[in-house]
Structure 1
Amino acid sequence: MDNNLILFTTSKLKKLLKKRPGESKFGEHIRTLNDISNIYEDLKTLDVEYVILGLPEDVGVFANYGNTGTSAAWDATIKVLLNIQNNAFTHADKVLILGHLNFEKVLEKLSKLDQNKAKDIEKARKLVSKIDAEVSNCIYQIVKAGKKPIIVGGGHNNAYGNIKGASLALNTRINVVNFDAHSDFRKEEGRHSGNGFKYAYSEGFLKKYFIFGLHENYTSMDIFKTLDENKNLDYTTFEAMKIRKKPPLQGEMLRALNHISENYFGIEIDCDAIQNIPSSAMTPSGFSVEETRQFVSYFGKDEKATYLHICEAAPTPETETQVGKLITYLITDFIRAHANRNHSV
């Protein structure tokens, strides 16, 4: 494993944990690793099901001319997640917090680039390719060890690394459902947050792809044409479900599940799709937090659900706690849905 992985240590845990008498916190029951030398073997032998990984970067967003800030989501989340209650609903003992990939050097290079210069955008896109390699390597090890990665933060460029890593570990092309206002299936013009799924598809890691909640105002005719002409690609628009109310949300979730569930699949959640959530392309019109949570729960309970990725949230110091709470809800909804498949809790 590359030394860019910073393990989440017990000392970091102690610093962030806010214990209270008479209460048992999530962070008191999660597992951590002490050693980076053989992550695959360590994960394989541990009795955990979910491995949480942070991707604090916004290089892919910058390279797509977006607003940066997605690098802050990981820290915002971990502070909240550790301090929720541990109880029969939260399953903390099945969770390992692995840590985060350290992109400080890449972000330092990024800070010297100018989004208005074509050459700098090209440089940023090369940096995204380096991030791809790190992410896919890490996801590969987690999935190969038989665990489910929960990936937090960064831009949607990281969908590529998630898909590639999972596909190589499972030795098959995987499917994906993407809860998103945008297709992220734009042309291969150098890597950025708007073409991760296109690269994954072209390179043979992604087989079937369903985009849930595309915004009609922000999807080009070319993209619609591409999606309409390929039977492996399907979508439903936000306006069809929520504005025209045809077809209903639940029916479209079932249709999406039918499209992807004959094989292992990833769940991608882009916070741009949730109304008024601080993100790289914040929207005044989007899904509610409850609808987003229902979506994660619905797909998370399927046995073929392989990973969860929550991306594009861009918290400010003022919104850090709210964003941390949102992502924590989505993480625990996924764990609950999966853990409760055979239980009544």
Structure 2
Amino acid sequence: MEHLKPFTTSELSKLLNKRPKESKFGEHVKLLPNFDNIYGQLLKMDVTYVIFGIKEDVGVFANYGKTGTYEAWDATIKVLLNIQSNSFTQANKASILGYLDFEKYQNKLEKLDQNKKKDIQKARKIVSKIDESVSFLVSQIVSAGKIPIIIGGGHNNAYGNIKGTSLGLKKPINAINFDAHHDFRAEEGRHSGNGFSYAYAEGFLKNYFIFGLHENYISEAILNTIDKLKTIQYNTYESIVVRKELKLKSQIERALGHVSNSNFGLEIDCDAILNTPSSAMSPSGFTLSQARQFVHHFGSHINVSYLHICEAAPTPESSTNIGKLITYLITDFIRAHENH
């Protein structure tokens, strides 16, 4: 694959901090012996989860957002490899594939200006190219009967995840999106705000639930569109946490009921988690504990087909904390799914 940077044993040994009388996650995860035929290799491997990163923030740029989502994979892999390997973490069930490297596209961003419409259109064309790589890799993993765990990049990659999973399963899929934003914007060229609308329009996405939408960030026009579509449901953060009209647990059950009748993708946007450095960081949002409970609940369902954690934009100061946050969500997902 053109953009895949494989994760090798030499990279693993550089990042792994071994300690006497301890066993680390990175000592037990499985790596592909070679990368000539990813589908064929995965088919033979005795793993359930295939973890890979997406290093890009072109989609965020193309949606006038704050870049930095490129850094999330590096922040996560350093932490993930060095947590304990034990009966809780089950590292032997996971493979680390590497990351999709879009450095040449990232370099083009440096010459583009978000204030110029022509430059935004150029960025949106690049996002379509990123889509192709993401959907192809996800389809290979899903076709091999594994569950992708996708880390980093903008929420534009929801499109590639949904399309790739749909192609791998040969049917449309559903999606649950834990997010402050709907990401169902107009099909105006690809960016981080319309991954779900494109997947829906092209028939890859069927039922869609937006969980914890912030009422300040949805236009009346989009609200009217969503309200007319029975296959799309949502709740708002304010109705659950501020006004307490709805209970978190019953809303999780309602959302699960909407998506779990068939295979579904689990999308976690770090914008929804309180004070998390991200492309649209918010002083109001769900706690990390609530996000972890959410991932556990959906991760434990038999029909969950992938996990995507996106939009985190770590700074040098917050890198370790972001790595820990994402690692908690990855391990919660694996634990939940192993015990379903």
TM-score normalized by the length of structure 1: 0.98
Q: Is it true that 1:94 corresponds to 2:101 in the alignment?
A: no
Q: 3-state DSSP class of the match of 2:258?
A: helix
Question: Matched residues in 2 for 1:283 and 1:146: separation?
Answer: 37
Q: 3-state DSSP class of the match of 1:55?
A: strand
Q: Which amino acid aligns with 1:224?
A: L
Q: 3-state DSSP class of the match of 1:88?
A: coil
Q: Which residue of the partner structure matches residue 41 of structure 1?
A: 40
Structure-to-structure mapping, 1:128-277, within 5 angstroms: 128-277=127-276
Question: Matched residues in 2 for 1:262 and 1:41: separation?
Answer: 30
Question: Matched residues in 2 for 1:274 and 1:232: separation?
Answer: 26
Q: Per-residue deviation at 1:35?
A: 1.5
Question: Matched residues in 1 for 2:44 and 2:245: separation?
Answer: 48
Question: Matched residues in 1 for 2:329 and 2:111: separation?
Answer: 34
Q: 3-state DSSP class of the match of 2:55?
A: coil
Q: Per-residue deviation at 1:261?
A: 0.6
1:302-333 Cα shifts (integer Å, max 9, x gaps): 00000000000000000000000000000000
1:63-122 Cα shifts (integer Å, max 9, x gaps): 000000000000000000000000000010000000001101010111111111100000
Q: Which residue of the partner structure matches residue 333 of structure 1?
A: 332
Q: Per-residue deviation at 1:200?
A: 0.1
Q: Which residue of the partner structure matches residue 83 of structure 1?
A: 82
Q: Which residue of the partner structure matches residue 113 of structure 1?
A: 112
Q: Per-residue deviation at 1:246?
A: 1.4
Q: Per-residue deviation at 1:223?
A: 1.3
Q: Which residue of the partner structure matches residue 63 of structure 1?
A: 62
Q: Which amino acid aligns with 2:216?
A: N
Q: Per-residue deviation at 1:34?
A: 3.0
1:216-236 Cα shifts (integer Å, max 9, x gaps): 001111111111111000000
Equivalent pairs: percent with the same residue? Answer: 66
Unaligned runs of 5+ in 2: none
Question: Matched residues in 2 for 1:222 and 1:142: separation?
Answer: 37
Q: Per-residue deviation at 1:340?
A: 1.1
Question: Matched residues in 2 for 1:118 and 1:227: separation?
Answer: 27
Q: Per-residue deviation at 1:4?
A: 1.2
Q: CA RMSD in A?
A: 0.5
Q: Per-residue deviation at 1:138?
A: 0.2
Question: Matched residues in 1 for 2:289 and 2:222: separation?
Answer: 29
Q: 3-state DSSP class of the match of 2:281?
A: coil
1:8-31 Cα shifts (integer Å, max 9, x gaps): 000000000000001000000000
Q: Which amino acid aligns with 2:103?
A: E
Question: Matched residues in 1 for 2:129 and 2:83: separation?
Answer: 34
Q: Which residue of the partner structure matches residue 306 of structure 2?
A: 307
Question: Matched residues in 2 for 1:312 and 1:239: separation?
Answer: 21
Q: Which amino acid aligns with 1:334?
A: F
Question: Matched residues in 2 for 1:61 and 1:183: separation?
Answer: 14
1:266-293 Cα shifts (integer Å, max 9, x gaps): 0000000000000000000000000000
Q: Which amino acid aligns with 1:56?
A: K
Question: Matched residues in 1 for 2:235 and 2:287: separation?
Answer: 17
Q: Which residue of the partner structure matches residue 24 of structure 2?
A: 25
1:233-265 Cα shifts (integer Å, max 9, x gaps): 000000000011111000000000000111000
Q: Is it true that 1:15 corresponds to 2:14 in the alignment?
A: yes
Q: Per-residue deviation at 1:126?
A: 0.2
Q: Per-residue deviation at 1:125?
A: 0.1
Q: Per-residue deviation at 1:3?
A: 2.2
Q: Is it true that 1:279 corresponds to 2:286 in the alignment?
A: no
Q: Which residue of the partner structure matches residue 319 of structure 2?
A: 320
Q: 3-state DSSP class of the match of 1:211?
A: strand
Q: Which amino acid aligns with 1:266?
A: G
Question: Matched residues in 2 for 1:144 and 1:318: separation?
Answer: 39
Q: Which amino acid aligns with 1:278?
A: P
Question: Matched residues in 1 for 2:85 and 2:339: separation?
Answer: 16
